[in-house]
Amino acid sequence: MNEKKILIVDGMALLFRAYFAQSYSARRLDDGTPTNAIYGFFQYLFDAVINFQPTHVVCCWDMGSKTFRTDLYSNYKANRPDAPDDLVPQFTLVKDIVAALQIPNIGLEGYEADDCIGTVSHKLSDLGHVYILTGDQDMLQLVTERVHVVIMKKGRSNYAVYDLDFLKTDKGIHPFQVVEMKGLTGDTSDNYPGVRGIGEKTALKLLTEYDSIDGILNNLDILPKSVKIKIESDLEMLHLSRTLARINIEVPIECSLEECLWNVSIEDATIVFDKYRLTSLLKIIS
């Protein structure tokens, strides 16, 4: 069976990971523009292409810090520092090189890359098997029989590939419960609190027994008194946290299978990569 395999790349996740992995590198263009994160980005991308052998590739990006989530909760991600100065000029340049390889760059103001990834994976999973390349465990809510989430681990070509069975084995939950967990526990990385005093262990126990937040709320009266009090004291934030955690799979973007076809011409790529002094990377895919 010649089924299509679609690799959806979490662009920002790869670029930031690459920046910190390559922070020692002094790679720059003649005009002084740094390219260390770009170099690492394409190492990770090409490694994934070799490992997963996709027939199609698309890359999704954040398009600024203001999104519908910051409208809902002004402190959302407010704890995050600004991007390092020498990473900022690489944001645009990496997209230019991605586009030069005929890989679509997808992003929309007001939404996060997560939402674009969720939308594209939902649309294209009927047409092929989707692999989402990321370091963000929030993406685990997108796992289906047709969508696998590839979590990058320390080092190159080191992945945890989550399908439905491995998610249940490794995390003890189903995909929809990723959102329920975040509603209960919050997310320190994204700076929303969930229910104060409810940690992962308690949340997992509650979801194992009652399946969802709605199931927990329907059984409040039989919960341990301390847990009941915590939940009742933070009901509004519980619901808000669950909303913030849920990836939007209905972003108004378009991405056809045809435009995602992985068909890189090494000859054309050499011209682009030589321009940016990245030619050595092409040996990974040639």
- Inter-residue contact 204 to 173 (CB < 8 Å): yes
- Inter-residue contact 238 to 203 (CB < 8 Å): no
Query: Could you tell me how far CA 179 lies from the centroid of its own chain?
Result: 14
**Overall fold of domain 175-245:** DNA polymerase; domain 1 (1.10.150)
CATH 3.40.640.10 fits domain 5-171+247-284: no
- Inter-residue contact 106 to 255 (CB < 8 Å): yes
Residue from 136, 135, 143, 98 nearest 259 by CA: 98
Question: Which residues of the chain form CATH 3.40.50.1010?
Answer: 5-171+247-284
Distance CA 186, CA 245 (A): 8
Question: Which residues of the chain form CATH 1.10.150.20?
Answer: 175-245
Distance CA 112, CA 117 (A): 9
Q: What is the pTM of this model?
A: 0.95
**What tens-digit pLDDT sequence spans the chain (286 residues)?**
468 999 999 999 999 999 999 766 778 898 888 999 999 999 999 999 999 999 999 999 999 889 999 999 999 999 999 999 999 999 999 999 999 999 999 999 999 999 999 999 999 999 999 999 999 999 999 999 999 999 999 888 899 999 999 999 999 999 999 999 999 999 999 999 999 999 999 999 999 999 999 999 999 999 999 999 999 999 999 999 999 999 999 999 999 999 999 998 888 889 999 999 998 998 888 7
